[in-house]
Amino acid sequence: MAEKPAFIKYSRKDPSYRPVYERLRDYNAVELTLTFEEILIQAERCMECGTPFCHAYGCPLGNIVPEFNNAARMANWKKALALLLSTNNFPEFTGRICPAPCEASCVAGINSDPVNIRHIELAIIEKGFENDYINAESPPVGLKERVAVVGSGPAGLAAADMLNGFGYRVTVYEKDKNPGGLLRYGVPDFKLEKWVVERRIELMKKQGIIFETGVKVGEDISYGYLSGRFDAVCLACGPGEPRDLSVQGRSLKGIYFAMDYLVQQNRRISGEKADPSKEITASGKTVVVIGGGDTGSDCLGTALRQGAGKVYQFEIMPEPPTERPDYTPWPKWPAIMRETHAHKEGGERRWSVMTKEFLGENGILKGLRCAEVEWKTIEQGRAPVPVEKPGTEFYVKADLVILAMGFVGQKETGMVEVFGVERDIKGNIQADECNMTKVKGLFVAGDMNTGQSLVVSAIADGRMAAKGIMAYLAKRAGKR
Residue 327 within any structural domain of the chain = yes
Q: Is residue 248 part of a domain?
A: no
User: Do you know the residue count of the chain?
Assistant: 480
Q: Cα separation of 93 and 398, whole Å? A: 35
Residues 86 and 177 placed together within one structural domain of the fold? no
Q: What letter would DSSP give residue 253?
A: B
Has residue 171 been placed in a domain? yes
Q: Is 431 helix (H, G, I), strand (E, B) or coil?
A: coil
Distance between CA 86 and CA 67 in Å, rounded? 12
Instruction: Please report the pLDDT score of residue 2 as a whole number.
Output: 47
**Which are the contacts of 256, defined by CB distance < 8 A and separation ≥ 6?**
280, 400, 401, 402, 403
Clarify whether residues 236 and 193 are in a common domain: yes
Task: Give the structural domain span for 189.
Answer: 146-240+410-479
Distance between CA 237 and CA 411 in Å, rounded? 10
What pLDDT score does 140 carry? 74
State which of 91, 106, 130 marks the end of a domain. 130
Cα 415 from Cα 91, distance rounded (Å) = 32
Residue 353 contacts residue 315 (beta carbons within 8 Å): yes
Run of H or E including 357: strand 353-361
Positive or negative torsion for Cα 453, 316, 312, 337: negative
List of the chain residues with pLDDT < 70: 1-4, 410-418, 479-480
- Residues 6+ away with beta carbon under 8 Å from 459: 60, 61, 88, 89, 90, 93, 94, 154, 155, 157, 158
Burial of 12 (0-12, 13-18, 19+ CB in 10 A): middle
Q: In this structure, are strands 353-361 and 348-351 parallel, antiparallel, or unpaired?
A: unpaired
Q: Are residues 125 and 32 in the same domain?
A: yes
Q: Tell me whether residue 437 is in a domain.
A: yes
CATH number at residue 301: 3.50.50.60
Alpha carbon distance 290, 305 (integer Å): 18
Residue 209, number of CB atoms within 10 A of its CB: 24
The answer to whether residue 453 sits within a structural domain is yes
Position 17 scores a pLDDT of: 97
Q: DSSP string spanning 289-336? A: EE--SHHHHHHHHHHHHTT-SEEEEEESSPPPPSS--TTS-TTSPP--
Residue 447 phi, psi dihedral angles, 5° rounding: -65, -25
How far apart CA 57 and CA 322 sit, in angstroms, is 23
Q: What are phi and psi of 154, to 5 degrees?
A: -60, -40
Spell out the residues 6+ positions from residue 286 whose beta carbon is closer than 8 angstroms to its own: 308, 309, 310, 311, 312, 396, 397, 398, 399, 400
- Reference 186, options 234, 152, 150, 235; nearest CA is 152
261 plus 314 within the same structural domain: yes
Residues 260 and 389 in one domain: yes
27 shares its domain with 124: yes
Predicted local confidence at residue 275, as pLDDT: 82
Under a CB-based contact definition with an 8 Å cutoff, are residues 97 and 191 in contact? yes
Pairing of strands 364-376, 385-388: antiparallel
Reference 7, options 90, 110, 82; nearest CA is 110
Both 168 and 209 in one domain: the answer is: yes
The reply to whether 271 falls in a domain is yes
Q: Which of 403, 428, 458 is the last residue of a domain?
A: 403
Q: How many domains in the chain?
A: 3
Residue 140 counted as domain residue: no
Same domain for 226 and 350? no
Say which CATH number the domain at 46 has: 1.10.1060.10
Are 349 and 343 in contact by the 8 Å Cβ rule? The answer is yes
Q: Is 144 helix (H, G, I), strand (E, B) or coil?
A: coil
Residue 165 sits in the same domain as residue 53: no
What are the C-alpha distances in Å from 296 to residues 78, 262, 342, 447? 38, 10, 10, 19
The answer to whether 287 and 310 have CB atoms below 8 angstroms apart is yes
Last residue of a domain, one of 403, 421, 451: 403
Q: What is the pTM of this model?
A: 0.95
The separation between the first and the last C-alpha atoms of the chain, rounded to the nearest angstrom, is 68
Same domain (yes/no): 125, 28: yes
Strands 385-388 and 169-174: unpaired
Euclidean distance between CA atoms 356 and 255, whole angstroms? 14
Q: Is residue 136 part of a domain?
A: no
| 40 and 98 inside one domain | yes
Clarify whether residues 229 and 262 are in a common domain: no
Question: With contact defined as beta carbons under 8 Å apart, do 303 and 342 qualify?
Answer: no
Collapsing DSSP to helix, strand or coil, 32 comes out as coil
Helix, strand, coil percentages, rounded to 5, for the chain? 35, 20, 45
pLDDT digits (tens, 9 = 90+) for 250-272: 999 999 999 999 999 999 999 99
Residues 167, 141 contacting (CB under 8 angstroms): yes
pLDDT at 228: 92
